[in-house]
Amino acid sequence: MSTPWSTADIPSQAGRTAVVTGANSGLGLATARALAAAGAHVVLAVRDTARGETAAAAISGDVEVRRLDLADLSSVRGFAAGWTGDLDVLVNNAGIMMVPQGRTADGFELQFGTNHLGHFALTNLLLPHITDRVVTVSSGLHRSGTIVLDDLGWERRPYSDTGAYGASKLANLLFALELQRRLTAAGSTVRSMAAHPGYAATNLQSHTENRLKDLAMKLGNRFIAQSDADGALPTLFAATADLPGGSYAGPSGFQEGRGAPTLVGRSREASDVQLARDLWTASERLVGATAD
Q: By C-alpha distance, which of 286, 288, 292, 291 is closest to 109?
A: 286
Q: By C-alpha distance, which of 93, 88, 95, 245 is closest to 176?
A: 245
User: Which entry of 159, 165, 199, 248 is annotated as an active-site residue?
Assistant: 165
> Strand runs (DSSP E) across 219-287, as ranges?
248-251, 261-263
| Start-to-end Cα distance in the chain | 55
Mark whether 165 is an active-site residue.
yes
Are the C-beta atoms of 179 and 277 separated by less than 8 Å? Answer: no
Helices (H) and strands (E) in the chain, counts: 10, 8
Phi-psi domain of 269 (left: phi exceeds 0; alpha: psi -120 through 50; beta: other): alpha
Residues known to be catalytic: 165
